[in-house]
Structure 1
Amino acid sequence: MNKTWKILSTAVLIIGGVWLGSLLNTTASGAGGTGQPGTSDDPVVTKSYVDQQIQKVLGGGTTTPTPAPTVPTNPPNNGAVSTSNAVVIVDVKPGEKLIAEAGAEFIVRNGKAIIYSLDANGVADLTDGKDIVNGQAIVTNHLLSFPRDGRGITVQDGQKYGLVVMVRGGYSIQ
């Protein structure tokens, strides 16, 4: 009798669980649910439709998006000066210095570069969390932050190839 009782109670629990699960599923998708996505109960709309409706409510017509401004990817290097906040690619030839304005950020993408500074203070290497002083080498692909004007980078002595640098913020080439 003990074996029969265990089999019978197991069967009742399984059947009861299946019945309860189907009951809960019916309740969730029935009157208490919001319906299937894409139906009249739950429509799917696009962003452009929502934007149009917002413009109608605000009293304006439909607006056309304005194109993004173009940024030169390789400005001329002869005394080039930039104050843009966009990222530009700058080529630095041997013998030239890329001088940053306060708050500028550089990433040396190609070439061997060193820090140039008129004082003992240096430049923050944000990737390593270190300060790099005048004359020290820069690791490529590290983000450098220039806290003050007059500091920059130059091509390491003995290198015949220049640098390729990503620059955000103001800079000049001397």
Structure 2
Amino acid sequence: MARTTNWRIRVVNTALAAVLLIGVSLAAAKSKGILFPDWSGPTAGTYDKPAAELGKKVTKGRPWSVETVAGAILGKTLPGKPVSMVGEIIDYSCYLQVGKHGDKHRGCGQKCAAVGQPIGLLAKNGALYMLIDEEHNSRRDGLTTFRKQAIDNMAKIVRVNGTYSEVQGQKAIYVQGSVKKKK
């Protein structure tokens, strides 16, 4: 008897879960929301006319700063390629977790980035790049301004100059030129 009751409870629970899942899916399909990455447009800028430019242009002969090379093990860095890429500055963690970006998410993205959450660049083709200060020791020691620049430009389409690196599928652009001026 107990076995039959347990079986019936499982069938009812499974059916209820299926109905709930179908209901949520249908509701989500009818409207845009945080379940969809295109739920909000950028605050400013277009892919043809970015709102700002972050980072200095990097030369092919020297993709990494002297500071980064000096901080590398035996002075050997991983390969890097100079890039200049246009995309929307996003809060990397919220985008990957719940698809949030754009003007509606600007305030939240700024708060997340201000407390150290990773910052990303969302390209027009949907590719996602983590954005990181390039100068190794200055970044480690909190002596760069890139995070503030990115926070100020959160949810805007901008041009980012830097060094592209990819390791095991993880794409990053290291942005040079944001070391704080010594007083």
TM range (shorter): under 0.3
Higher strand share: 1
TM-score by length of 2: 0.27
Mark the structure with the bigger radius of gyration: 1
TM-score by length of 1: 0.28
Higher helix share: 2
